[in-house]
Amino acid sequence: MSEMSQPLVRHKTVQKIHLTVVQIVLTLFLITFLLPAIWMVSSSLKASTEVFAHPIVWIPERPQWNNYARIFEILPFGRFLWNTILVTGLAVLGTVISSVMVGYSFARLNWPGKNLFFGLMISTMFLPEIVTLIPRFMIFRELKWIDTFYPLIVPHWFAVNAVYIFLVNQFLRGLPIELEEAALIDGANRFQILTQIIIPLSKPVIASITVFALLQHYNAFIEPLIFLRSMDNWTMALGIRALNDTNVQNWELVFAAGTMMVAPVLLLFIFAQRYFVQGIALTGFGGR
């Protein structure tokens, strides 16, 4: 082996060792994060005596599949699931539509005070949402919206989340302005440009904010707890909390309900992961 090739071989060896160490560390982190979820799924199929057994029972001796059926007998989880789907679907739809429209306005249109309002919008990102909870409750009470789905759906049709608007704005700033100029010359109006040019090119960021918004509304607990009173309007999060309060001796039922709630979101993230990662990566390359 020549003297010139030795440093190259040494460099490749160091790279392989470094890559191996990184993979081992990341694998350990992955196992650490997955263990609680694996234990939850396993415990959802255990008998009461196996849940907190020592040493830990990872694989139930006799899987109790009826645990999932029992939670529907104790509380109307079918109703909770439907309420969650309805609220989440309408809130996500409103969030995506309003965020795209407002983000497009900030990124592409010129109107008086745009920079001022954009700065004000960004400043709301530093305001904890819990601070506005009491004023919102008072407003919704005057509108007689308490114990309805309106407080959980209607505000999100008016672009109340600055983070999503910012993501859309940054993504659109990275698209060539010449596409819109050519469309304007051909006689297209702004609505046609938005629906026929901008939205098809913005699928990655739209998918990203869809996943973000879905997780936000699907897992929401504080707002449903404050605004929903009757059990018929409860969401899954409130149902699991009630199940936890009434079945402290039957944790396998609580874990079964938790697994049932987590499974759809996990499957969605697995199928939408490509768009999710791509959208987050591309939102940092805008700027004109």
pLDDT tens-place string over residues 80-90: 999 999 999 99
Tell me the three state secondary structure of residue 25: helix
Decide if 276 contacts 211 (C-beta within 8 A): yes
**Residue 64: other Cβ atoms inside 10 A:** 19
Helix axes 162-173, 251-282, angle to 10 degrees: 30
**DSSP secondary structure string for all residues of 220-275:** --HHHHHH--SGGG--HHHHHHHHHHH-TT-HHHHHHHHHHHHHHHHHHHHHHHHH
User: Residue 245's pLDDT is what?
Assistant: 75
User: Residue 288's pLDDT is what?
Assistant: 41
Give the range with max mean pLDDT: 27-31, 90-94, 122-126: 90-94
Position 153 confidence tier, pLDDT thresholds 50, 70, 90: very high
pLDDT tens-place string over residues 109-146: 888 988 999 999 988 888 888 888 999 999 999 999 99
User: Residue 16's pLDDT is what?
Assistant: 85
- How much is the mean pLDDT over the chain? 85
Give the range with max mean pLDDT: 31-45, 133-147, 176-190: 133-147
Tokens of 264: 């759809």
CA distance 196 to 272: 23
Decide if 108 contacts 172 (C-beta within 8 A): yes
Q: Is the pLDDT of residue 6 over 80?
A: no
Position 287 confidence tier, pLDDT thresholds 50, 70, 90: very low
Position 40 confidence tier, pLDDT thresholds 50, 70, 90: confident
Q: Is the pLDDT of residue 14 over 60?
A: yes
CA distance 203 to 175: 12
Bigger pLDDT: 245 or 23? 23
List Cα–Cα distances, 106 to 117, 159, 167, 195, in angstroms.
9, 12, 11, 16
User: Residue 247's pLDDT is what?
Assistant: 63
Tell me the three state secondary structure of residue 190: helix
**Gyration radius from the chain CA atoms:** 25
pLDDT tens-place string over residues 205-222: 898 888 889 989 998 999
